[in-house]
Chain A
Amino acid sequence: MSDVLEAYPQLLRGAWITVQLTVYGSALALALALAFGLAGTSRHVALRALNRVYVEFFRGTATLVLMYWLFYALPLVGFRFTPMAAAVLSLGLNVGAYGAEVVRGALNAVPKAQYEAAIALNFRPWQRLVRVTLPQAVALMLPPFGNLIIELMKGTALVSLITIGDLTFRAQQIRASTGETTATFLVILVMYFVIAQLLQLAVRYAERRVDRMLGRRPVRRDALPRTADASGAGAVKG
């Protein structure tokens, strides 16, 4: 065990990569989720079709296979990605597809009367969205988004397979050099858990802020409506 703990600089470097992947991947996933989720609620058939194509394709694709494609296959036809870019792209594209469903579901769950009140006050179409519908939808999105981001963080363990030195990759190295299989995996199990808890805390903080905006005082997570919890990650609840 002490051998494993002595390798802590390596573990910390790995954890830092894992955190970076999570942050960049989540940022990309959120941007894609918002863009394609909005497309999914559009009046225009073409935009709604775009939403369906994106969601169905990337939701149905294994992140690892996507990663292999970006890292090994596409260079053969002239598109070269750094391992980091390939990892962030594939994580973001995959989780973004689930996120787009969350965004679409949340926007559709905002009562139509709110949109109509915004029309009655003569808000422009984009103001209706930005000032009225979207802020209310965000409240519905946050709990499922929290789950998705934790899913994404756990998904980063796959990047060790395309030579990125994340937490899992470092653990493999330490295990090989010390021979301490149990201890090594126990340590990184705890480290992943800690990272997940930190993410959970951030999400809770965001939820509390949104609750205050909506005038709901004490936070009762169970009272929040859940929409399109497509991640299947319901068990991650802290």
Chain B
Amino acid sequence: MPPTDTAPATPEESSENVPAGTARGAPDVPPQRTDAPGIRFEKVVKRFGRNVVLRELDFEVAPGERVTLIGPSGSGKTTILRLLMTLEKVDGGVIWIGDRPLSHMRRGDRLVPANEKHLHEMRKQVGMVFQQFNLFPNMNVLRNLTEAPMRVLGLSKDEAVERARRLLDMVGLADKIDAHPSQLSGGQQQRVAIARALAMEPKVLLLDEVTSALDPELVVGVQDLLRDIARGSDLTMLCVTHEMGFARDISDRVLMFDQGQIVEEGPPERIFEEPAEQRTRDFLQAVLAS
């Protein structure tokens, strides 16, 4: 199979791209971190009613590793990210972030389901960017970025505004600081959403098809930004995407899922160029065709 790059064929600078004057790469993105934790799924079971989505799923992500999840619709990719963001509860097994259980907490030498306090503690490490951006429409761009750092992390207003300005600069939207989300294009909204997630300084970043709700010409700007973030930080990243070129650029490893199971895994070059499994080949074919 030839290299598959499904990113739009015309990467000219559109108004959506980060302005040329903005410095890219390491200096502008969040400071280097060497303390990003790994992730471990241990016999994780997730059911919706009688639909068993994850059946004793085991996998690990190394500290600072970038992993892309691919697989057909309904294979459980979003569910995995939502479990990590604590938007869903596990029905069995344990999820670990670093050496601490996410879904559970220690009581003596037993693990019991986590309470809100434990979840709050664990969520400090995790940030998520959604397919539909989900900016808060009752706040302008600045407040979208400062509200949680102030109310949750306890930053002073000045510190939070300073952080927001730095991040908006990084995503190339410094001039939109007072704009309202509804006044921004999809690509701009998603860049604000990325900045909003980074403002909480997570150590694990979850990206669920973050460009698939965007018009094709807006995809490149968001992907470029994420590439820079991947390059300039050592966040542990879990990314769901159908953009194979993008997956190849940012990921160390690709996991191919089907029906809640890992069908095949390996470095992106190998998975995309010489997939070993028929189901992977079929899936890549289908993505290319679309």
Chain A residues within CB distance 8 Å of chain B: 113-114, 116-125, 127, 131-132, 135-136, 139, 213-216
Contact = CB atoms under 8 A, between A and B. Distances in A.
A123 B87 contact: no
A113 B132 contact: yes
Given A124-B120, A125-B116, A131-B147, A117 B181 contact: no
A122 B120 contact: yes
Contact of B87 (A116, A131, A132, A216): A116
Contacts of B124: 122
Contacts of A213: 138
B200 interface: yes
B279 interface: no
Given A119-B85, A122-B123, A127-B152, A132 B130 contact: no
Contacts of A125: 116
Interface in B179-207: 180-183, 196-197, 200
25 contacts: A113-B132, A116-B85, A116-B130, A116-B134, A117-B136, A119-B85, A120-B85, A120-B87, A120-B126, A120-B130, A121-B147, A121-B196, A121-B197, A122-B124, A122-B152, A124-B120, A136-B136, A136-B137, A139-B138, A213-B138, A214-B138, A215-B137, A215-B182, A215-B183, A216-B182
Given A120-B87, A122-B148, 20 more contacts: A116-B87, A116-B130, A116-B134, A117-B135, A119-B85, A119-B86, A119-B123, A120-B123, A121-B148, A121-B152, A121-B196, A122-B124, A122-B152, A122-B200, A139-B138, A213-B138, A214-B137, A214-B182, A215-B180, A215-B183
A131 B147 CA distance: 9
Interface residues of B, number: 29
B190 to A, nearest CB: 13
Nearest to A134: B138
B95 interface: no
Contacts of B130: 113, 116-117, 120
Contacts of A139: 138
Nearest to A212: B180
A122 B120 CA distance: 6
A120 B197 contact: yes
Contacts of B137: 136, 214-215
Q: Which of A116, A122, A125, A131 has the most CB of B within 10 A?
A: A122
Given A120-B85, A122-B200, A215-B180, A132 B136 contact: yes
Contacts of A116: 85, 87, 130, 134
Q: Which of B126, B127, B151 has the most CB of A within 10 A?
A: B151
